[in-house]
Structure 1
Amino acid sequence: MSRFGWVMLTLIVAAVGGFLSMLSFGPGEVVVPDIAAPAKQAAAGSAASLIMPIAHYPVASLHHDWGDPREGGKRRHQGLDLIAPAGTPVVAALPGTIEKLFDSDRGGHTLYIRSRDGRWGLYYAPLKGYAPGLAEGQRVDQGQIVGYVGDSGNAGAGNTHLHFAVSWMRAGDKWWQGEPVDPYPLLAGKTASR
């Protein structure tokens, strides 16, 4: 083979070697976050062992609408809608602290509860109103009435329901932050304590 041939072969081998070095073969150091960790902890009986957020709500009436498209597909539903008559009592699904009472165009009268261990955030909307005397910073017990089912915000008159959302909270997360967690598997098979 001529000198030119050896140079070309060397360049080709180097190029192929460089290309192969950019590829990954085998498992390597791939880190996959455990997105099921919150649900696993809840199932194991941690502080996130939720009860049904509407008093006496039948488990059979739960409809798994997590991830359904909203606003023409612009966003995904990140909670559960529990259909109930206006004024039905809404309860703290776990013990915690009232982190925020808030009125918004979309959610209407809303309520945020942070679990006592700080790892879970619960969101309730659109409420007809809050339980008498309820205030930000107040500690609530699991099963305590915190509000009432309504149709405030953009729910539409007569569309009474509770939008219930659960978030896995990291240190420093504010009341509107956190990683959304599907509440359906956390509530399926549960019964209300009141």
Structure 2
Amino acid sequence: MNRCIHTDSIRLWSGILGVFFLIAGLWVQSVDARGKPGPEISLMIDGIGIETDVQPLQKNGRMLVPVRAIAEKTGAKVGYDAQKRQVEIRKEHKKIIIPIDRSFAHIDGEQVSLDVPATIVNRRTLIPVRFVSEALGYRVEWNAVSRVAAVWTPKAKQTTASATNPYVVQTGDSLYLIAKRYQVSIDTLMKNNNLSSDTLLAGQVLYLTDQAKKAELRPTNVAGDQRLLRDHFVFPFAAHSGYEPFVSSYGSDREWTESGNGTVRSHEGVDIMAPSGTPVYAVSSGTINRIGWNTYGGWRINITDAGGAYKMYYAHLLAYAPGLQVGSHVKAGQLIGFVGATGYGKPGTTGVFSPHLHFGLYLARNNQAIDPYPYLRFWERHKVTGLS
């Protein structure tokens, strides 16, 4: 249940945001700098990071994942024969049998070789993700930098949105009126902007595509720092990712504090609502200067950009991409974590608010906060495609 009150809700979230948080203690040290900074996710299915009770295993250049992590998310049925020590996976008319610790498997009765055998870790059966996924007719991507495997099922919607012909939503606008005015279908507007509902916010930017009439209301460039308006900066969500319409929440009031004294603080960032597990990408190349738990930001990452002028702050993550730590160098567009709802309490606190990404932008020389909203709108035209 939400425990804080948003006192500046007039223009910000109007019914879609139950998200009220303050980012403070930005430069607090990680909980445990000696080990992993926090939970990690190594597997994505249809564009969403999947938590597993046993971490995926790297062996001989192959990734093994808990069998139920794939089965439960794709509708396959799993059985285990303890006497024969083998896993059986069924999906529609496909039947796959994988013996434990053996270098072969059977697909519909035909024996095939395995590069790496299935194994058991902490009473969980781990299977080679590429072999099983492709046997079931899924597509698999692997990125060695992020160390994350992505499985795409045939039902996945992998549309790449067009970030051209921007239109600023005005008070009184509706999808129907915009579609009629600019001679574009409502379905096209929803698909191109990854909209899950017909809710619009005044100030929101819609991309109408080149096939529509040219929009007369275009976003004005109110960004003050032209160095941030370069093509090597990217949006923190990928082209195929879904996220809710967002407007600026920078400077609005936040009343939750660690001390609980009721002090009102200013919100130093922009909130973008997205499903839990949505991958988050580095806006710019740079070096991680903080990573781990923060009372307000939950599992968060602070990255100083390669030029040393800015610090980017990604908060409320569900988990990180594997292998990240203080001092790690990241590239623009590199997968760094996954959307969550962590923060507002001791390490592991989650669910106080709805899943979203809090993105903050700071001057490195003095840690002064900058309104990231106009830059996010510019970067929204530059999105990662594929896993990256």
% of aligned pairs identical?
Answer: 35
**C-alpha deviation, 1:107, in angstroms:** 1.0
Q: Relative to structure 1, is the Cα distance of residues 160 and 186 closer, same or farther in structure 2, using a 3 angstrom cutoff?
A: same
Q: Which residue of 2 aligns with 1:167?
A: 362
Q: Which residue of 1 aligns with 2:309?
A: 119
Q: Relative to structure 1, is the Cα distance of residues 162 and 99 closer, same or farther in structure 2, using a 3 angstrom cutoff?
A: same
Q: How many residues align?
A: 150
- Within 5 A, what are the aligned runs for 1:87-98? 87-98=277-288
Name which of 251, 257, 260 aligns with 1:67: 251
Q: Which residue of 2 aligns with 1:15?
A: none
* Alpha-carbon distance between aligned partners in 2 of 1:73 and 1:58, rounded to the nearest angstrom: 34
* Alpha-carbon distance between aligned partners in 2 of 1:59 and 1:188, rounded to the nearest angstrom: 14
- Within 5 A, what are the aligned runs for 1:135-154? 135-154=325-344
Q: 1:6-41 CA distances to partner (integer Å, 9 max, x unpaired)?
A: xxxxxxxxxxxxxxxxxxxxxxxxxxxxxx996232
Higher Rg: 1
Q: Which residue of 2 aligns with 1:55?
A: 238
- Within 5 A, what are the aligned runs for 1:27-66? 39-43=225-229, 45=230, 50-56=233-239, 61-66=245-250
Q: Which residue of 1 aligns with 2:373?
A: 184
* Alpha-carbon distance between aligned partners in 1 of 2:290 and 2:343, rounded to the nearest angstrom: 16
Is 2:299 the partner of 1:109?
A: yes
Amino acid across the alignment from 1:121: K
Q: Which residue of 2 aligns with 1:84?
A: 274
**Aligned Cα RMSD in Å?**
2.4
Q: Relative to structure 1, is the Cα distance of residues 50 and 58 closer, same or farther in structure 2, using a 3 angstrom cutoff?
A: farther
* Alpha-carbon distance between aligned partners in 1 of 2:297 and 2:281, rounded to the nearest angstrom: 18
Could you state the TM-score of these two structures normalised by the residue count of structure 1? 0.69
* Alpha-carbon distance between aligned partners in 2 of 1:160 and 1:55, rounded to the nearest angstrom: 17
* Alpha-carbon distance between aligned partners in 1 of 2:369 and 2:236, rounded to the nearest angstrom: 17
**C-alpha deviation, 1:146, in angstroms:** 0.3
**C-alpha deviation, 1:193, in angstroms:** 2.3
8 Å CA contact 2:244, 2:274 repeated in 1 = no
Q: Which residue of 1 aligns with 2:116?
A: none
Q: Which residue of 2 aligns with 1:156?
A: 351
**C-alpha deviation, 1:55, in angstroms:** 2.2
**C-alpha deviation, 1:129, in angstroms:** 0.7
Structure with bigger helix share is 1
Alignment partner of 1:61: what SS? coil
**C-alpha deviation, 1:156, in angstroms:** 3.3
Q: 1:149-168 CA distances to partner (integer Å, 9 max, x unpaired)?
A: 00111263461000000001
Could you state the TM-score of these two structures normalised by the residue count of structure 2? 0.36
Q: Relative to structure 1, is the Cα distance of residues 73 and 166 closer, same or farther in structure 2, using a 3 angstrom cutoff?
A: same
Q: Relative to structure 1, is the Cα distance of residues 188 and 103 closer, same or farther in structure 2, using a 3 angstrom cutoff?
A: same
* Alpha-carbon distance between aligned partners in 2 of 1:186 and 1:40, rounded to the nearest angstrom: 9
* Alpha-carbon distance between aligned partners in 1 of 2:376 and 2:324, rounded to the nearest angstrom: 25
Is 2:388 the partner of 1:193?
A: no
Q: Relative to structure 1, is the Cα distance of residues 60 and 130 closer, same or farther in structure 2, using a 3 angstrom cutoff?
A: closer
* Alpha-carbon distance between aligned partners in 1 of 2:302 and 2:223, rounded to the nearest angstrom: 22
Q: Relative to structure 1, is the Cα distance of residues 67 and 135 closer, same or farther in structure 2, using a 3 angstrom cutoff?
A: same
**C-alpha deviation, 1:52, in angstroms:** 1.2
8 Å CA contact 2:243, 2:274 repeated in 1 = no
Deviates more, 1:49-58 or 1:178-187: 49-58
Amino acid across the alignment from 1:41: R
